[in-house]
Each structure stands twice: as C-alpha cells, then as structure tokens.
C-alpha cells in the first residue's frame, strides 16, 4: 500500500529534516543517519538490499498537520519502479550512490548536496502508478467485502434451510376443500355446466356444424337455436355431448324459424337430468351481470361473463339455409359470444336462464348473424320469456304459433320514422285485409306505425320483433301517422301457425 495516503497529495519537503523513527535492522544500522541530515564517510560497498517488504509503514503514527509542518514518523520508501534520479551537478565516479543497507534506509549518499536528505519526501512517481495503486487497493477492498458478504449470505441460507423447508406460503386447506360462495361466477358455472350440452348436426348432404343447447326438462328435452339444427332437421344426424363427455343421439321435436328456436329430445335420456332454472327476462335491467356458456368454435364448456348492455334491441338474422329471417327483441350483452355459442344459455348472477344466445354483430359484414367473425362485445340473446312460450308450443304440437296484426309492412330496415304499411300484400293481395286485426282497427295502406304501446318503432323488422314478444289474443296500442296526423288504435293480436303459411 502506498504511503501517499491512498492517492492524496504528498506533503512538501519540510524546512528542517525531521527525526526519523528508528528503523528495524542490525544494531550497526541504527546510527546510519543523523538528526541534522549530514552524511558520514562512505563506508564502502554494502550488501544488496533485501526484498521490499509486503507492507510498508504508513503515516498512522500521528495526526497530519499543515502541509508546511513535519510529520513525525513519516518514513519515505523508495518507489520500486520510479526512474533513477538524475546525477547532481559535479557528481563524480561515485554516482549513483549505493542503495541503503535496509529498506527503511539511512541517510543520503555521495556527499555534497546531491543526494536527498534523510526524511525528505520521496519525489512522486508518475501519476499512472499512483492510480494503479489506488485501483488495486479498491479492488482488494471489493474482494474482501464480497467475500464477507458471501460468507454472511451462506451462513443465513444455511440457518434458514435448517429451520424451514421452503420460503413459500401455503393457503390453509386444500383446493378440494375450498368452497366458493354462492353467486360467484365459479359457483354458478359449476352448477350449470352439467346441464349444458354441445350439439353436433350433420345433414344428409354433408353440411353441418356445432352449437350449444341446455336441458329444458327431466324428460330429456333440449332447447337450442333453429339455425344450429336446421341442416340435420330432415334426415340428418344429431348428437349431444354433456360436460362429462357422455354422448347421446337426439331428434328434432319442433323448429320455429321466425323465432330461431328449436327443441330436441334425447333418444335415450339418462336418469338424473337437471334442467336449468328459467328466469324472468322482463325483470332484467341494463347493467345486470351475465354468464354465457357454450362451445365457441367447438371449444365445449366455455364460460364467459359480461353485463346486459341493452334491452329490446331489434335484431333480424338468417338461419343460413334460406332467405327466411328470424326476428327478436333481443337482450344485448358484452359477454363474449362466438360461432358455436348459438343455442347456449345466457344466465343471470343467480344461475337462472334469461336468454338464448343467438346472434352477434360482425365487424366484417356490419350485420347480424352467425358468421365466423369473432366477438366484438355485441352479442344478442332471445329473451327467455319468449323462448319458453315457443318451446311449450313446439313440445305440444311441433309447430310454432306467431302473433300477428294482419298487415303487410315494408321490411326495409332503413326506413325513416316507423314501419310503413305496404301498398300491396304478398302475391298482390291486400296489404290490410278488412277482416284482419289491423283492418278491424281502421289501419290502411300507407299508414306509418311509430309506436307499439310505449315502444318506439323505427322500421318493419322492429315492429315484428315487438309483436312477437306477445301472445295471440294480447291487446296492444298502435300509434300511427296518416297524412301528417297522429292517431292511435287498439289492436287484438291474431295468430299464424307454422312457418310455411
């Protein structure tokens, strides 16, 4: 270690030589220097100096004073790699002087004023050398600190390993014993999943697809969408698979193309079927939590969540088989619904069915349907109150019954201001037969219907969607415009049976 106090400035030469500290060595060397700094006669050749000791004395003997004062105990040591001093003026053959007899050195050599007086500071070596000494000292300190830190860390780890097996914290109990509170998504899904099925439909022409359904009653009836089973309705194959992997053949009991509802029945229904409870879609409000279960893109038993984002959303969608469309005043949800979810249940927070997932808004086409586009957060479900009425009709007669007003309206969804009654009906018939519910209420061709009860009507599809939320025989109030004048009429809904009439 350098005696230059770890890289600090070397003190200037004192005005008078300080008294040196006695140097270790043979007794004969102890008188080699004098307090006055004079030099004795040349003693002649001296033995070679011993090797530089590993550690040289430092200035720790006393407090450092001002730069102009002598430092007691300061003992300069010759720099091992410094350039040799220049010969003094007038030096003879005796230059350079022989080295001191011991590392702590005696006085100067060579007489005169050529050699440095004993106790004078050693001229500083090149600055690079001091920097190297400082770096070496810092590196040594770092290595020592690292060794100490590593030793402490190893000791602490050994103590920890001996006291505990792991630093992780385990939750009390086991996953098997963990019970989820009623009303949580996990609890609702666990209870509902055994009653939800994946439907595979295969038509005679090879066309088919996958959808979802749910257990409607203990007799083995399954409710789903019509478009899920339409390809296999006439001579095709139908099968349903439960969440436990058990698979059963099924057959179509009845279909309602306009409502997009179908009922299947298991050919060999297992014992212990658990029908899903049916809720009340009229009591649903915007912001209520929703849970959708289905097989999006064939991924069975998929559970997604969201909320009711709107009610009474008029939706018209095709079944993919022909030009006939279905109409619904739908529940809108942002729960993720994709192709394959169709026919599956939309549940409320208690696990009751509030709707049948049926259609999505497609970003690619901008329309409603069951295309292969993915969810964009706009899914639509048939309200369960309507689906329940249709299912009962299909189980009882195999045919759907539709409420009607008995007037032909324009189906242009972009019509402004309401549903316009057409000039002529299908096949050139009257748009408003005199014996129809609308005819008896006084409606005529060209009238624009703007309200059904308190529901605003903006197009023909919206009017049909609202009418189909009722039953035949219900009384409704229609608000309409004729030649700039607004009027109302009370209409008793009639009925139409089946999809072919």
Per-residue confidence at 151, pLDDT binned at 50, 70, 90?
low
pLDDT of residue 411: 85
Which runs of consecutive H residues, i.e. helices, occur in 402-458?
Answer: 437-440
**Helix/strand/coil percentages in the chain, nearest 5:** 20, 25, 55
pLDDT of residue 457: 94
402/387 Cα distance (integer angstroms): 12
Q: 152: part of which helix (H) or strand (E)?
A: helix 127-163
* Residue in 326, 304, 345 with CA at minimum distance from that of residue 402: 326
Pick from 45-59, 189-203, 257-271, 479-493: least confident: 45-59
- Residue 475 CB burial class (10 angstroms; 0-12, 13-18, ≥19): exposed
**With contact defined as beta carbons under 8 Å apart, do 328 and 319 qualify?**
no
Q: Which of 239, 329, 342, 375 is catalytic?
A: 342
Peptide bond preceding 96: is omega within 30 degrees of 0, i.e. cis? yes
pLDDT of residue 96: 56
Q: Which of 195, 227, 317, 459 is catalytic?
A: 227
pLDDT of residue 335: 94
Per-residue confidence at 399, pLDDT binned at 50, 70, 90?
very high
More confident position, 54 or 209: 209
pLDDT of residue 149: 54
pLDDT of residue 155: 53
**Segment 360-367 mean pLDDT:** 65
**Segment 414-432 mean pLDDT:** 87
123/126 Cα distance (integer angstroms): 10
**Segment 282-305 mean pLDDT:** 95
Structural tokens at position 282: 């009229």
pLDDT of residue 42: 46
Helix (H, G, I), strand (E, B) or coil at 477: strand
Residue 281 pLDDT greater than 70, yes or no: yes
Mean pLDDT of the chain: 75
pLDDT of residue 29: 43
76/107 Cα distance (integer angstroms): 12
Distances (CA, A) of 71 to 122, 192, 204: 14, 93, 112
Three-state secondary structure readout of 155-216: HHHHHHHHHCCCCCCCCCCCCCCCCCCCCCHHHHHHHHHHHEEEEEEECCCCCEEEEEEEEC
Pick from 66-70, 207-211, 291-295: least confident: 66-70
pLDDT of residue 377: 79
**Ranges 71-80, 163-172, 342-351, 358-367, most confident:** 342-351
Pick from 73-82, 256-265, 400-409, 411-420: least confident: 73-82
Query: For residue range 238-265, what is the model confidence (pLDDT) as tens digits?
Result: 999 999 999 999 999 999 999 999 999 9
Query: For residue range 299-312, what is the model confidence (pLDDT) as tens digits?
Result: 999 999 999 999 99
Query: For residue range 13-49, what is the model confidence (pLDDT) as tens digits?
Result: 444 444 444 444 444 444 344 444 444 444 444 444 5
**What is the DSSP-derived secondary structure letter of residue 108?**
-
Q: Can you say how many angstroms the Cα of residue 386 is from the centroid of all Cα atoms in its chain?
A: 38
Q: How far apart are the first and last CA of the chain?
A: 109
Neighbours of 346 (CB within 10 A): 31
% of the chain at pLDDT higher than 90:
50
Residue 291 pLDDT greater than 60, yes or no: yes
Give the CATH number of domain 401-497; options: 2.30.42.10, 3.20.20.150, 3.40.50.720, 3.30.429.10.
2.30.42.10
Structural tokens at position 34: 């004098």
Residue 54 pLDDT greater than 70, yes or no: no
Angle at 131 between CA 127 and CA 135, to 5 degrees: 175
Catalytic residue status for 319: no
- Facing residues of 345 across strands? 356
Pick from 200-204, 218-222, 358-362, 384-388: least confident: 358-362
Placement of tokens 């086991």 in the chain: 174
Catalytic residue status for 227: yes
Contact residues for 317 (Cβ-Cβ < 8 A; gap 6+): 227, 260, 325, 326, 358, 359, 368, 369, 370
Query: For residue range 174-206, what is the model confidence (pLDDT) as tens digits?
Result: 666 667 787 799 999 999 999 999 999 998 777
More confident position, 393 or 155: 393
Give residue 267's region: left, alpha or beta (phi > 0; psi -120 to 50).
Answer: alpha
**What is the DSSP-derived secondary structure letter of residue 276?**
P
340/185 Cα distance (integer angstroms): 21
pLDDT of residue 426: 83
pLDDT of residue 356: 97
Query: For residue range 74-128, what is the model confidence (pLDDT) as tens digits?
Result: 444 444 444 555 555 554 555 555 555 444 444 444 444 444 444 344 444 455 4
Q: 463: part of which helix (H) or strand (E)?
A: helix 460-467
180-399: which CATH topology?
Answer: Thrombin, subunit H (2.40.10)
Q: Which of 109, 195, 260, 334 is catalytic?
A: 260
Residue 360 pLDDT greater than 60, yes or no: yes
Catalytic residue status for 474: no
Strand bridging mode 475-482 / 485-492: antiparallel
% of the chain at pLDDT higher than 70:
60
Contact residues for 184 (Cβ-Cβ < 8 A; gap 6+): none
pLDDT of residue 161: 52
């Amino acid at each position: 270690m350098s005696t230059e106090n770890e890289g600090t400035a070397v003190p200037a030469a004192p005005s008078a030589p300080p008294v040196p500290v006695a140097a270790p060595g043979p007794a004969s060397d102890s008188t080699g220097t004098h307090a006055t700094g004079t030099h004795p006669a040349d003693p002649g050749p001296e033995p070679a100096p011993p090797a530089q000791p590993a550690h040289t004395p430092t200035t720790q003997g006393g407090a450092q004073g001002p730069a102009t004062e002598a430092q007691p105990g300061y003992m300069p040591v010759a720099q091992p790699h410094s350039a040799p001093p220049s010969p003094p003026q007038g030096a003879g053959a005796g230059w350079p002087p022989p080295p001191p007899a011991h590392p702590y050195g005696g006085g100067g050599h060579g007489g005169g004023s050529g050699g440095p007086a004993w106790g004078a500071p050693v001229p500083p070596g090149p600055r690079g050398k001091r920097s190297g000494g400082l770096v070496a000292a810092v590196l040594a300190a770092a290595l020592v600190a690292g060794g100490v830190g590593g030793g402490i860390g190893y000791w602490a780890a050994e103590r920890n390993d001996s006291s505990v097996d792991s630093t992780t914290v385990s939750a009390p109990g086991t996953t098997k014993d963990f019970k989820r509170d009623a009303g949580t998504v996990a609890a609702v899904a666990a209870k509902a999943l055994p009653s939800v099925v994946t439907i595979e439909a295969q038509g005679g022409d090879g066309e088919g697809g996958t959808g979802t359904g749910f257990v409607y009653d203990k007799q083995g009836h399954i409710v789903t969408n019509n478009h899920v089973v339409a390809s296999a309705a006439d001579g095709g194959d139908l099968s349903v698979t439960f969440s436990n992997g058990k698979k059963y053949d099924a057959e179509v009991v009845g279909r309602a193309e306009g409502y997009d509802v179908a009922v299947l029945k298991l050919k060999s229904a297992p014992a212990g079927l658990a029908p899903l409870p049916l809720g009340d879609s009229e009591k649903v409000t915007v912001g209520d939590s929703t849970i959708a279960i289905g097989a999006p893109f064939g991924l069975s038993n998929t559970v997604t969540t969201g909320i009711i984002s709107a009610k009474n959303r008029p939706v018209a969608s095709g079944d993919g088989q022909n030009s006939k469309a279905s109409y619904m005043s739908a529940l809108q949800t942002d729960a993720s619904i994709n192709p394959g979810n169709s026919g599956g249940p939309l549940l409320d927070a208690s696990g009751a069915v509030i709707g049948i997932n049926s259609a999505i808004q497609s970003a690619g086409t901008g329309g409603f349907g069951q295309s292969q586009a993915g969810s964009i957060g706009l899914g639509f479900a048939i309200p369960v109150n309507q689906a329940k009425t249709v299912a009962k009709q299909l189980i009882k007669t195999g045919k759907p019954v539709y409420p009607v007003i008995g007037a032909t309206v324009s189906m242009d969804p972009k019509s402004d201001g309401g549903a316009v009654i057409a000039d002529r009906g299908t096949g050139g018939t009257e748009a408003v037969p005199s014996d129809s519910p609308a005819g008896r209420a006084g409606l005529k061709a060209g009238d624009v219907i703007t309200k059904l009860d308190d529901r605003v009507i903006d197009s023909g599809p919206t009017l049909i969607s609202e009418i189909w939320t009722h039953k035949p025989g219900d009384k409704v109030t229609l608000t309409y415009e004729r030649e700039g004048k607004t009027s109302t009429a009370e209409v008793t809904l009639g009925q139409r049976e089946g999809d072919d009439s």
